[in-house]
Amino acid sequence: MPAEKTICPGCGLELESTETGLDDRFNASCACRRLYDELSCFTLNQADAEFTHQLIVDAYCAQHAGPKVKTISIAFSLIGLYLVFERDYTGRQVQLAHMALAKQSKQWHRFNPPPMTGTLTVSNVLNSINGENYRKNIHDWAGSVWTAWASTHTQVAELAKRYLKLD
């Protein structure tokens, strides 16, 4: 099959690939999802006490939120981004917060994505990885996603405060 250009419906990334389909689990092209898998392998293989990997999970989910993505996944990803960018949590602390939230059976609010979900993509992170700078690149990407969801910030903060009992 010849390579064709596909545009990822979540992040807008245009990639040349023989896989022109969409990934059912996310509002993403298969080609974009492959890049995520590549980054995921990279972050999981770092000896990283901060567990920066959590940030890529949340950033990717929030950037590729769509009708097929579970309500709870979108809510948790936004709460994760809130904790990192407004509360200075590490990925490890976010992971623990998600576990605490998961214990509370609750119907989570359905957050619908803004028209544009960030100015950077997983591709920007992969293209600029050079040693230890990966943490900063991931922060920049995730920060662009968090900024794009600005209209939900107040509501996400309220959820995090209430269910994690933050001040």
- How far apart are alpha carbons 151 and 112 in whole angstroms? 10
- How far apart are alpha carbons 123 and 34 in whole angstroms? 10
Minimum CB distance to Zn ion, residue 160 (Å): 25
28 part of the interface to Zn ion, by CB under 5 A: yes
Contacting range for Zn ion; rule: CB under 5 A; set: 32-40, 51-59, 112-120, 146-154? 32-40
Q: Which helix (H) or strand (E) holds 119?
A: none
Closer to Zn ion by Cβ: residue 122 or 160: 122
Q: What distance separates the 2 farthest-apart alpha carbons in the chain?
A: 56
Angle at 125 between CA 82 and CA 20, to 5 degrees: 105
- Contacting residue, 15, 22, 31, 32, with Zn ion by CB under 5 A: 32
Quickly list DSSP for 122-150. HHHHHHT--GGGHHHHHHHHHHHHHHHTG
62 part of the interface to Zn ion, by CB under 5 A: no
Closer to Zn ion by Cβ: residue 7 or 100: 7
Minimum CB distance to Zn ion, residue 84 (Å): 20
Closer to Zn ion by Cβ: residue 35 or 79: 35
Minimum CB distance to Zn ion, residue 61 (Å): 11
- How far apart are alpha carbons 126 and 37 in whole angstroms? 11
11 part of the interface to Zn ion, by CB under 5 A: yes
Task: Note the residues at the interface with Zn ion (CB under 5 A).
Answer: 8, 10-11, 13, 28, 32
